[in-house]
Amino acid sequence: MRGSLLVDNIGELVTNDGRGGDPLGVRRDAAVLVEDGQVAWVGPARYAPAADRRIDADGAAVLPGFVDSHAHLVFAGDRAAEFAARMAGEPYTGGGIRTTVGATRAASDDELRATVGRLRAEMRRQGTTTVEIKSGYGLTVAEEARSLRIAAEFTEDTTFLGAHVVPAEYADHPDDYVGLVCGPMLAAAAPYARWIDVFCERGAFDVDHARAILACGQAAGLGVRLHANQLGPGPGVQLGVELGAASVDHCTHLSDADVDALAGSTTVEWLSGPPTSTVATLLPGAEFSTRSPYPDARRLLDAGVTVALATDCNPGSSYTSSMPFCVALAVREMRMTPAEAVWAATAGGAAALRRTDVGRLTPGSRADLVVLDAPTHLHLAYRPGVPLIRQVLHNGVPR
Ligand code: NIG
Ligand code: FE
């Protein structure tokens, strides 16, 4: 949409500019000018420049759009029965991934595309304007390439997760599967992927396999992220730090050495320069939906680790597309303050994707913003389960 747009009469504007030592950079009685899909000006409403069009926020809170930095949206079928069994006491092992692999392989391109589109729309209605999308339910050369090709129709942040689990046909010779992932599968996936990911966990890929696969991905120009320390303690988090991963995700079972490694990697100055830290991305929807203990966000934050929140949206461990739900869980169950949780769901997600164009509302950033049906960001945790997203602007366009 051409021409300028003024979002005016904002009661509380979260900019994430860190001004005055406030990470959220909150401004009262503010306005935001949008031009060519970008934020052109931010300031007091009374000094707002003229614009072609105007949105009256009517005293409400305005936030950067949520950045959901971890989602598995390319799949078919669902696993509602598996969820019901868990709620009746069954543990989550990740074994159900193979069920989804079967359904995904049997689906047409259009069916997969429709599912990604439906979930992407669901996310946007809940305030998400940037999403990372992983492959990982294909697990053959052609299927992983297909998943990523479809994911790339929806986002720039596509992640090759050929190493999600060892598929049944390689169960007796997993080394050969690792060879396939590092060789032909990576070659077919790389043109459509920005990132590489491995599920480094007992029952999935051990640390040697994970290191080998991630190193191949790096050599092919992909950035590193990984699923680590979700189901139990393990070497994944420290492997991620060693490899300079943008993010290690889950972080549910951490030793002091894991926390120290993450804290040692942290560069708090990421907003003003190229970020170099490894972010800890917490996925409380997974603990909710697997009835597992939540990660201790407070311990990470107190150690100085950069924390992000994401949905982990997938048909097995976390079938939610809602960042507001994750914010509420993080505050109630993980000892984050509402401000920390909102930062983690916006700027934190951007840091986990090493992006400086989203997750904040400052001149030059993408005009991705959310108008809440609430006077402050506190209401996201204070009013859990309530649809508080009044309006979403993506690239400056009302959606
Ligand atoms: O992040 N842990 C590995 N992958 C997903 C779960 C995938 C599934 O259960 O289908 C996760 O929780
Ligand atoms: Fe995941």
Residue range 303-321: mean pLDDT, rounded: 97
Span 45-57, mean pLDDT? Answer: 97
- Does residue 292 line the site of ligand 1, with CB under 6 A? no
How far is 270 from 355, CA to CA, in rounded Å? 9
Q: Which ligand is nearest to the CA of 317?
A: 1
219 C-beta neighbours (distance < 10 Å), count: 10
Q: Please, are residues 12 and 28 in contact by the beta-carbon 8 Å criterion? A: yes
Average pLDDT over residues 169-193: 97
23 lines ligand 1 (CB under 6 A): no
Give, using CA atoms, the residue closest to atom 8 of ligand 1: 316
| 393 closest CA partner among 60, 3, 16, 130 | 130
Other CB atoms closer than 10 Å to residue 44's CB: what's the count?
A: 11
**Cβ(317) – ligand 1 distance below 6 Å:** yes
- The mean pLDDT value for 338-366 works out to 97
Atom of ligand 1 nearest to the CA of 201: 2
Given the DSSP bridges, would you call strands 27-35 and 38-44 parallel, antiparallel or unpaired? antiparallel
What's the CA gap between 316 and 48, in Å, rounded? 47
Pairing of strands 307-309, 128-131: unpaired
Ligand 2 center to 215 CA (angstroms): 20
The predicted-structure confidence for 226-284, as pLDDT tens digits, reads as follows: 999 999 999 999 999 999 999 999 999 999 999 999 999 966 554 555 557 999 999 99
Percent of the chain with pLDDT over 90: 95
For residues 153 and 138, give the distance between their C-alpha atoms in angstroms, rounded to a whole number: 17
DSSP secondary structure string for all residues of 218-246 = HHTTPEEEEEESSSS--SHHHHHHHTT-S
Average pLDDT, integer, range 64-73: 98
Q: Is the CB of 96 under 6 A from ligand 1?
A: yes
In terms of DSSP bridges, do strands 128-131 and 66-68 run parallel, antiparallel, or are they unpaired?
A: parallel
pLDDT at 335 over 90: yes
Radius of gyration of the chain (CA): 20
Phi then psi dihedrals of residue 103, to 5 deg = -65, -35
* pLDDT of amino acid 1: 56
The pair phi, psi for residue 196, each rounded to 5°, is: -125, 145
Average pLDDT on 330-339 reads 98
Section 158-176 average pLDDT = 97
Mean pLDDT of the residues in the chain: 96
Please give the model's pTM, rounded to 2 decimal places. 0.97
Percentage of the chain lying above the pLDDT 70 cut: 97
Per-residue confidence at 55, pLDDT binned at 50, 70, 90? very high
Question: Is there a contact between 39 and 367 (Cβ–Cβ < 8 Å)?
Answer: yes
Q: Tell me what the mean pLDDT of segment 317-332 comes to.
A: 98
pLDDT (tens digit, 9 = 90+) per residue, 77-120? 999 999 999 999 999 988 899 999 999 999 999 999 999 999 99
Q: Band of the pLDDT at 32, cuts 50, 70, 90?
A: very high
Cα–Cα distance list, 389 to 66, 282, 373 (Å): 11, 22, 6
pLDDT at 337 over 90: yes
Ligand 1 neighbour 60 (Cβ under 6 A): no
Pick the ligand that lies closest to the CA of residue 137. Answer: 1
Helix (H, G, I), strand (E, B) or coil at 49: coil
pLDDT tops 90 at residue 140 = yes
CA 287 to chain centre: 16
- Looking at residue 266, what is its pLDDT? 61
**Per-residue pLDDT at 20:** 85
Residue 264, SS3? helix
Residue 267 is predicted with a pLDDT of 60
- Structural tokens at position 217: 């991905």
Query: Cβ neighbours of residue 93 under 8 Å, at least 6 residues apart?
Result: 203, 231
Give distance in angstroms: CA of 70 to centre of ligand 2: 6
The per-residue pLDDT for 19 is 87
Tokens 């461990």 found at: 317
- Distance CA(374)–CA(15), nearest Å, equals 17
Q: Is the CB of 135 under 6 A from ligand 1?
A: no
